[in-house]
Chain A
C-alpha cells in the first residue's frame, strides 16, 4: 500500500520523532510511505479560534497537497488533526462559499486515517509485539485525547496497541476521559482554567506510579508534559507511535541523560 504521511505541523516542527516512528512502523510492514511536501497544517487552530477566513487558505493548502491519486490512504499521528480534516474542512469551505474546495475536502477527509485506526482497521495489527516487533519494558499510563475519543470514536485502539507491546506494563489512569485542558488557544485565553485542568491530570498521572504517560496527540502531550516538567516531576510523555516503533534492538531510552518531551531529567 502507498501511504501518504500527514505529519501535522506540531509533529513536523516540534516532535519529528513521532513522524519518524510512524514512517518506521509503516515501512516495517512493507508499505511505501510518501510525504506530500506541500503540506503544512490542518488549520484547526484558526478554525477553533474563530478565524474562518484565515483558515480558508490553510485548509485549501492541505486539500491541494493531499487531493491526489498518488497514494491509497493518508495517515496522521494525531486524533485531533485527523478530526479537523474529516469534520472541519468541509464546514470551513462551505462557510467561505468555496463549493469546489468543499467537495475536494470531503474526498481527502474520506481517505485520511488516524494512526491507530489505520493500524487496527486497515492493516490488521492486533498484537504489536508479534506483528511490529514492538518492545518497551516500562511502566506506562495512557491519556486518551478528547478529539480521538469523541470525534473519531477511536475507543481503545491506541490503548490496545500499547497493551500488546512486548515488556510493557500498562497502568490505568484515573479519570482518563477528562480533558487535560489544552484546547489550543484555550490554554492561552483561559490559562487559569486550563492550568487547573492540567494540574488535576498531572496529579492523576503521578498517582499511577508510571514512568511516563502516552497518548495519541502531540499537542496534548506537550501540554501535559509541560505541566509535569514545571512541577519538577520525573514523569514524561511519549507518543504511542514511538512506543510501538521501539524494539529490543533499537529501544527508545527513557532513563539516564535522555530527555523525552516534557520530562525533567
Chain B
C-alpha cells in the first residue's frame, strides 16, 4: 500500500466516479444522434466492415467455442479469487522493482498520477490509448494541473485534436470519416502540409510527423494495460500502431493505470486471451505489437515503473451476483460492433466512456443504478442477443441488462410516488396475464378494438407511452374473436383435421371459419 494510514471503513458499496455516466436519458441522446446522417453512414460502414472481418477470422478456428469457454472460465476463476491474486501480483511486481499505488476511485487515481508526474519535474507526458484513463478523466485533470498529455494512438489523437470524446472503445474516432479527419488535422496541427489529402496513408504520415518529436523528447509516459499476470507481476499492452511500444520503452518514467479486474492468474493464460482478443476486436489473427514488461530492467527502458490499481466501482460490480461477470470484459468491442442499437446511435449517446452493450451494463454496475441517467442505459437494447454471441468471454449481456432493469424498477418502488404509465401498464398486465379467465374476459372486448380500427382496419394512433410505436408503425385491427373463444365454441378435431373443411382465411385476422 502506498498509504498505510488506516482511514476507517468506507461506506459500502463504493461506487465509481468520473466519466461513467449518461448525463441525459438514453432515448433523448439517441434521438439527437439518430438525426446525424453522416454519423449513421460512418458507423454503418465501419461496424459492418469490422463485423465481417471478425466473422472471417473467428471461422478459421475450429476450437473457437472451446476458446470462449476457456476465456470465460479463467475470468470467472480470477474474479472468485481476486483479493489473493491482487496480493500475489503486488508481491511479484514489487519484487521486480515496480511500485504499486491503490486508488479507490477516479479522484484518487488522478491525484496519484499527478503527484508522480510532478515528482519528475515534467509538464508533458505521452499517452498510450487507455480506457482506464478515459474513465477517470485523466487528461482533463492533468490539464487543470498544468500538465499536457499527448495521445499517441492515431484515432485517439484525432479525437483529442478535435476536442471531442471517443465514441468507441477500440476505434475512438469511428464516428469520423477520413475527410473529416483531414479537416481536423488542417485546423488543429501546429505544423501541417496545407496540401494534405484524405488518403489514409497521407493522414497517417501527418500524424507520425506530428508525434515523432513527442516520442523522442518525452520523459514520462502514461499507459493502461490489457492484462496483469499475477504469477509473474507482468503487465501487457496489446496494440496496432507501435505508438504504444514507443511510449512503453523510450521515456524514463512509466505510469500505468489498470483496473483491478484486468488480472489473469498466470502467464500461460495469455495463450487463450491472445487468440480471443485480436480476433474479436480488430478482426486480426494477431495484433502487430504486444508489449510485456515486468518491473524495471536496469539500463533498459523506463527506470521508474509505477502502477495505479484502480477500483472506481469494480468492487461494487463484483458484489452483484447477477452482474459480476461484466467484469470479465477484455474491452475487445465485439459487442458494440454487432449491436444494432450502437450501430445507429453511436457511442456518444451512452454518455459513459464505455458505450454499447457492455457499457449499458458496466456503467450502471460501477456507479450504481441511481447515478445520474445511468438507469436509462439497461433499456438501450432490444435484447436481440447478438452481443452475447460475439463476446469472447461469454458475458451474458442480455441477462444482465434485464437484471439491471429489475434493479431500476425496484429502486423506484422504494420511493413513494405517482405510478408511471409503464407501472400501470405492468400492473394491469399482471392482472390480465395471471389467470386464463382474466385474459378471456378482456378478449370479449376485441370487437371494440376492431371497431376502433374502423374501415381501414388499422390503428394509426395510440396515446401515452404507446404513441412512439404509432409514430412509424400501424397496428392491425384485432380479430372479432380470440383463439380461446373459437376453441371453446367451434373447435372439433374434424373441422381442422381435414383440409377443405377448415373454413377459409379470407377476411381479416379473425379465426378461420368465423363469419366476421
A contacts, CB < 8 Å to B: 7, 9, 11-17, 19-20, 23-24, 27-28, 32-33, 35-41, 43, 45-55, 57-58, 60-61, 65, 95, 133, 146-147, 149-151, 177-179, 181-199, 222-223, 225-227, 229-230, 242, 246-253, 258-259, 261-262
Contacts and interface: CB of A to CB of B under 8 A. Distances in A.
A114 B389 CA distance: 21
Interface stretch (B24-32, B68-76, B201-209): B24-32
A40 B383 contact: no
B474 A198 contact: no
Contact of A48 (B405, B472, B506): B405
A132 B21 CA distance: 56
B320 to A, nearest CB: 13
Interface string B364-403: 0000000000000011111111101100000000000010
7 contacts: A37-B488, A146-B386, A188-B466, A191-B468, A193-B34, A247-B499, A259-B508
Contacts of A61: 433-436
Given A192-B34, A226-B476, A16 B26 contact: no
Given A28-B499, A188-B465, A253 B379 contact: no
Contacts, number: 263
Interface stretch (B114-122, B265-273, B280-288, B422-430): B422-430
B23 interface: no
Most buried by B among A28, A43, A51, A248: A51
A134 B163 CA distance: 62
Contacts of B407: 50
Nearest to B431: A57
Contact of B471 (A19, A195, A229): A195
Nearest to A95: B406
Interface residues of B, number: 84
Nearest to A37: B436
B55 to A, nearest CB: 11
Contacts of A188: 465-466, 468-469
B382 A9 contact: no
B27 A192 contact: yes
A21 B504 CA distance: 11
Contact of B509 (A190, A196, A223, A261): A261
Main secondary structure of the interface of B (DSSP, over half): helix
Nearest to A52: B406
Given A12-B443, A58-B429, 14 more contacts: A27-B493, A27-B497, A40-B434, A41-B439, A51-B426, A151-B385, A188-B469, A189-B422, A193-B30, A196-B34, A226-B476, A229-B476, A250-B502, A253-B504
A230 B504 contact: no
B486 interface: yes
A151 B389 CA distance: 10
Contacts of A186: 379, 381-383
A211 B193 CA distance: 56
B443 A150 contact: no
Contacts of A49: 405, 409, 422, 426
Contact of B426 (A46, A229, A246): A46
Nearest to B486: A16
The A interface, classified by DSSP as helix, strand, loop or mixed, is: helix
A195 to B, nearest CB: 4
A54 B52 CA distance: 41
B438 interface: yes
Contacts of A17: 479, 505, 509-512
Nearest to A29: B497
B394 to A, nearest CB: 13
Contacts of A226: 469, 473-476
Interface in B471-487: 471-476, 478-479, 481-484, 486-487
Contact of A229 (B383, B409, B474, B508): B474
A20 B499 contact: no
A137 to B, nearest CB: 15
Contacts of B507: 258-259
A108 to B, nearest CB: 15
A61 B75 CA distance: 38
Given A45-B429, A54-B430, A227 B473 contact: yes
Nearest to A26: B496
B388 A190 contact: no
B473 A178 contact: no
A85 B341 CA distance: 26
A132 to B, nearest CB: 10
B509 A15 contact: yes
B41 to A, nearest CB: 13
Interface in B436-479: 436-439, 442-443, 446, 457-458, 460, 465-466, 468-469, 471-476, 478-479
B506 to A, nearest CB: 6
Nearest to B407: A50
A116 to B, nearest CB: 18
A196 B41 CA distance: 13
A52 B30 CA distance: 27
